Amino acid sequence: MLNNNNKKIYLKVLNIFKKYNLNLAHSKICASAIINAELVGATSHGLSRVKMYCDRIKKKLINPKPKIKIKKISQSISHIDANNSIGFVSADLGIKEVIKNAKKTGIGIVGIKNSGHYGLSSFYAEQAVKKGLVIFCFTNAPPALAPYGAKKSFFGTNPICFGSPVGNSTPFILDTSVSLINRGKIRLAAKTGKKISKGSALDKHGKPTVDPFKALKGVQLPISGFKGSGLAWMVDILSGVMTGANHGNKVKDPFDDFSGPQNIGHLFIALKHNLFVSNYTKRIKENIKNVKKLPKVKGVTEILYPGQNRMKKYNLNMKKNIKIPKSISDDLNNL
């Protein structure tokens, strides 16, 4: 339950999207995803992006009144043409469809094309996990990473997300880009006058930089060298090539490229957690318990599994007022 201050911010965002011709249901989906990003501490995917979405709607690159089509390939598999809808809306429909498919047959697969940036993958993974499903979420993104051995960006930061129920405990949700830092953090740093972490990006001349503006014009570095580059390529194949969406350097940057819709692709794969064993919950709890019992390095009091830190931030931030930098507050007021 949002406190009064955060509820006002939610309603402000909702009304901005309504003003930009989204219907009430779609505006609620967008506002919920954006506020969730703020509450879990992923501010780079929160309020700082509202202006970008509205700019693209205004330029008719996001369709505020999409006619989304779902093609049923089988009881388990669906293919969605999002009709250039805002990514939050197509992903919300996609995750609901994959949940429905998996509940019927044990496995659900949904591919989405003609979509846009959909915020945090964990926002959708959590919905599937709450229904007792193991979930994989893939989405491609605009060029930011150079393939290993190349000096020009081609793949996006292409996040990989995996989620699993853990009984009544905090869900296991790993949501990570394949770059050392996500592109949203660089954009947020540029907007708020901050530097980025060392070793995460190169400028257009191939030199290391902590200047976010130079990083945006240069290349982001992948995790683990060629391994990160390979994972970015994998996600691009799964979410772009496979679904019929744009892929590689054809995915348009939502902030800088207004030559056409993004046509981003998403792929959701959901499985019933007890597909192979009836005692899955007991087994995953045992798995986590064994990791947590391991000897800890100096300074570490608890070994956290993916999703725990996110939930701690969420519970803590639910008691606080969302802080909005002046530059972003000005954008919201103008919108």
**What residue spans define the domains of the chain?**
4-179+222-277+315-334, 185-221
Query: What's the pLDDT score for residue 235?
Result: 97
In eight-state DSSP terms, residue 177 is: -
Query: What's the pLDDT score for residue 187?
Result: 86
Domains 4-179+222-277+315-334 and 185-221 share a fold: no
Q: Rounded CA gap, 37 and 25, in Å?
A: 19
Query: What's the pLDDT score for residue 304?
Result: 97
Tokens, residue 268: 């959701």
Q: Rounded CA gap, 207 and 203, in Å?
A: 5
Backbone Cα Rg of the chain: 20
DSSP 5-58: HHHHHHHHHHHHHHHTT--HHHHHHHHHHHHHHHHTT-GGGTGGGHHHHHHHHH
- Residues 116 and 254: beta-carbon distance below 8 Å: yes
Query: Which residues, 6+ apart, have CB-to-CB distance to 9 below 8 Å?
Result: 35, 47, 322, 324
The length of the chain in residues reads 335
Query: What's the pLDDT score for residue 147?
Result: 87
In eight-state DSSP terms, residue 237 is: I
Query: Which residues, 6+ apart, have CB-to-CB distance to 326 below 8 Å?
Result: none
Query: What's the pLDDT score for residue 283?
Result: 98
Q: Rounded CA gap, 325 and 78, in Å?
A: 41
Query: What's the pLDDT score for residue 5?
Result: 96
pTM of the model as a whole: 0.92
Give pLDDT tens digits along the chain (335 positions). 899 999 999 999 999 999 999 999 999 999 999 999 999 999 999 999 999 999 999 999 999 999 999 999 999 999 999 999 999 999 999 999 999 999 999 999 999 999 999 999 999 999 999 999 999 999 999 999 988 888 788 999 999 999 999 999 999 999 999 988 888 889 889 888 899 988 888 888 888 999 999 998 888 888 878 899 999 999 999 999 999 999 999 999 999 999 999 999 999 999 999 999 999 999 999 999 999 999 999 999 999 999 999 999 999 999 999 999 999 999 999 99
Q: How many helices (H) and strands (E) does the chain have?
A: 11, 9
Fold of 185-221: Wheat Germ Agglutinin (Isolectin 2); domain 1 (3.30.60)
- The CA-based dihedral angle spanning residues 54, 58, 60, 65, taken in that order and rounded to the nearest 10 degrees: 70
Query: Which residues, 6+ apart, have CB-to-CB distance to 330 below 8 Å?
Result: none
Q: Among 71, 66, 73, which Cα is nearest to 89's?
A: 66
Q: Rounded CA gap, 156 and 229, in Å?
A: 10
Q: Among 83, 84, 88, which Cα is nearest to 68's?
A: 83
- The CATH number of the structural domain formed by 4-179+222-277+315-334 is 3.30.1370.60
